[in-house]
A and B are shown apart, each in its own frame.
Chain A
Amino acid sequence: EADIYQTPRYLVIGTGKKITLECSQTMGHDKMYWYQQDPGMELHLIHYSYGVNSTEKGDLSSESTVSRIRTEHFPLTLESARPSHTSQYLCASSEFPNTGELFFGEGSRLTVL
């Protein structure tokens, strides 16, 4: 069973609020990822990290930001939420370079009114 956790699972907030989606893993993985997925649609990579103090933007342009101060923690922040940010956000970590196996959290479903 994967040891990667996301909170909150569900969040409904108003426009303009600042939010942080939490992602933590206890597997000691260096590589971590954030994907955005709309219902019934494909996954889009929005941020990734190769380790502490390393963050990169993904293929999909996103107004969110991330930080990686500790290996186990990779939070995603939206400074001012808008209805266009309504989506599911999935966090993952990878056992690279060993097996390279990818593990996902349960996801955070965000609704911005």
Chain B
Amino acid sequence: KQEVTQIPAALSVPEGENLVLNCSFTDSAIYNLQWFRQDPGKGLTSLLLIQSSQREQTSGRLNASLDKSSGRSTLYIAASQPGDSATYLCAVPGGSYIPTFGRGTSLIVHP
């Protein structure tokens, strides 16, 4: 059964710092990996999708890398801003390709 772990569980940083959020998964035979952002009381917004054949994806200040062999993905956030405050989740397909989520990293960026 696919299990997804996200570290750290919570992060509080001053504005301007570069951040690293980690996601690890137990079954490396994945179809893709997707990073999401969730604001309180809202749905999930897709940030980046990495296909199994890719090593990384970039969107603005966000960069996600994927190392299937080690079962890890990293989300880099450059020059963090207060508006980046949210919970960040990663998801990978598990059995029957059903998305399996980590518990998320709760990020607070203070001015």
Contacts from A to B (Cβ < 8 Å): 2, 6, 31, 33, 39-40, 42-43, 45, 48, 58, 88, 90, 92, 94, 96-97, 99-107, 109
Contacts and interface: CB of A to CB of B under 8 A. Distances in A.
B41 A107 contact: yes
Nearest to B30: A100
B72 interface: no
Contacts, number: 57
Given A48-B98, A94-B99, A106 B93 contact: no
Contacts of B46: 2, 101-104
- B interface SS class: strand
Interface in B38-75: 40-46, 49, 51
A72 to B, nearest CB: 18
Contact of B93 (A2, A45, A100, A104): A100
A92 B100 CA distance: 13
Contact of A42 (B43, B45, B51, B101): B101
Contacts of B44: 90, 92, 104
B: interface residue count bin: 20 to 34
A96 B101 CA distance: 17
Given A88-B41, A90-B44, A102 B51 contact: no
B99 A33 contact: yes
Contacts of A31: 97
Residue of A6, A43, A104, A105 most packed against chain B (CB within 10 A): A43
